[in-house]
């Protein structure tokens, strides 16, 4: 009797496992090669799956009807493979969720809250309106603001005024740091060539505002925020050419070439950005030529309760 019972149990065990004909063994890492724990590894068969361990390794047995395997984890782009094409090392790329840009500044106006008239230039507005030129010329569409350049073209000494007050009565800030010259209170944007290419947000306040800007802000204020936290790693090349014409004849030409590098987030907290550009123009008026180059470099570190940023920008030119 015991022999019969044993034979029946053995037969049932073999029948229950005969459909599980293969297994998968491998590791899951991120783009830097670090093992990813708790990654979901599931097949197209309901209830057949596993998780990676702390070392990123997984071991999955699957039945004959399984045809695909999906690897997924929060913060990473999921990947799916055919059951016979799963590599020994599965690499998951980081997934970034684009949300609305948030700029926190104690000296920025808010719609319906701050009793001052103002205009905002977003990242998309700057990308649409700027190609080459001095920074004040980018703002010429702002109500009550007038901007112009000495040479009549896009490059060279340029100025702006708000409600009739020149830049000596307009406080200009870059990332919260005053740009006005401490001696004459003027702003010399010519010393920051191609600066608008590194700007992500601008707010222009018109008229007398609060006391945060000091006595120089009688005409208004310009608050500028530069690039810092581009999360996507990329290399960008730009080249452009244009001509000044009068009466159907060429008066001068302008050209620009630039290269930009963004590291994305490194180790989850560091970000590096660099840009180099070359600008050259014959100008519109006689002897208003321009030849210069510009650089911009930034380092940012993100900590749980603080952010540290270092920005370097400038560029020599001949005019």
Which backbone phi and psi does 79 adopt, to 5 degrees? -130, 140
Which tokens in the block code for residue 194? Answer: 């191609």
CA–CA separation, 313 vs 93, rounded Å? 32
CA–CA separation, 72 vs 79, rounded Å? 7
Q: Is the pTM of this model over 0.95?
A: no
Nearest to 66 by CA among 18, 21, 14, 25: 21
Per-residue pLDDT, 77: 86
Per-residue pLDDT, 9: 36
Per-residue pLDDT, 216: 57
- At which residue do the structure tokens 């799956």 appear? 49
User: Could you list the pLDDT tens digit for every one of the 319 residues in the chain?
Assistant: 444 444 433 333 333 444 556 788 899 999 888 999 989 999 888 888 898 998 999 988 888 888 889 998 888 888 999 888 889 899 998 876 555 555 555 456 666 666 677 888 888 888 888 888 888 888 888 888 888 888 777 888 888 888 888 888 888 888 878 888 878 788 888 888 888 888 888 888 887 655 455 555 677 888 888 875 666 788 888 888 888 888 888 878 888 888 988 887 777 778 888 889 998 888 878 888 888 888 888 888 877 777 788 888 888 888 7
Which tokens in the block code for residue 44? Answer: 């197209």
- Write down all domains in the chain, each with its CATH number in brackets: 22-91 (2.60.40.1120), 117-225 (2.170.130.10), 234-318 (no CATH)
Sheet strand arrangement including 199-206: 117-121, 199-206, 220-226, 170-174, 177-178
């Amino acid at each position: 009797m015991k022999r019969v019972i044993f034979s029946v149990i053995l037969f049932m065990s073999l029948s229950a496992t005969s459909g599980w004909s293969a297994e998968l063994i491998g590791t899951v890492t991120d783009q830097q090669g670090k093992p990813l724990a708790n990654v979901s590894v599931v097949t197209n068969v309901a209830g057949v799956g596993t998780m990676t361990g702390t070392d990123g390794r997984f071991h999955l047995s699957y039945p004959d009807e399984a045809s695909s395997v999906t690897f997924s984890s929060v913060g990473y782009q999921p990947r799916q493979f055919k059951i016979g094409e799963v590599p020994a090392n599965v690499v998951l790329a980081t997934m970034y969720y684009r949300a609305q840009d948030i700029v926190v500044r104690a000296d920025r106006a808010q719609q319906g809250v701050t009793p001052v008239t103002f205009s905002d230039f977003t990242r998309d507005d700057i990308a649409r309106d700027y190609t080459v030129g001095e920074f004040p010329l980018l703002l010429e569409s702002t109500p009550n603001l007038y901007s112009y350049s000495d040479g009549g073209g896009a490059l060279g000494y340029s100025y702006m005024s708000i409600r009739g007050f020149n830049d000596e009565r307009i406080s200009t800030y870059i990332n919260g740091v005053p740009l006005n010259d401490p001696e004459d209170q003027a702003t010399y944007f010519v010393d920051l060539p191609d600066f608008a290419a590194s700007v992500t947000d601008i707010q222009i306040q018109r008229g007398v505002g609060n006391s945060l800007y000091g006595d120089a802000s009688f005409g208004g204020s310009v608050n500028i925020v530069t690039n810092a936290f581009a999360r996507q790693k990329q290399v960008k090349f730009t080249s452009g050419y244009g001509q000044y014409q009068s009466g159907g004849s060429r008066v001068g030409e302008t050209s620009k070439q630039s290269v930009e590098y963004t590291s994305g987030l490194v180790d989850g907290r560091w970000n590096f950005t660099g840009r180099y550009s070359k600008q050259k123009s014959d100008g519109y008026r006689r002897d208003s030529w321009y030849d210069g180059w510009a650089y911009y470099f930034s380092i940012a570190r993100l900590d749980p309760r603080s952010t540290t940023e270092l920005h370097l920008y400038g560029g020599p030119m001949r005019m």
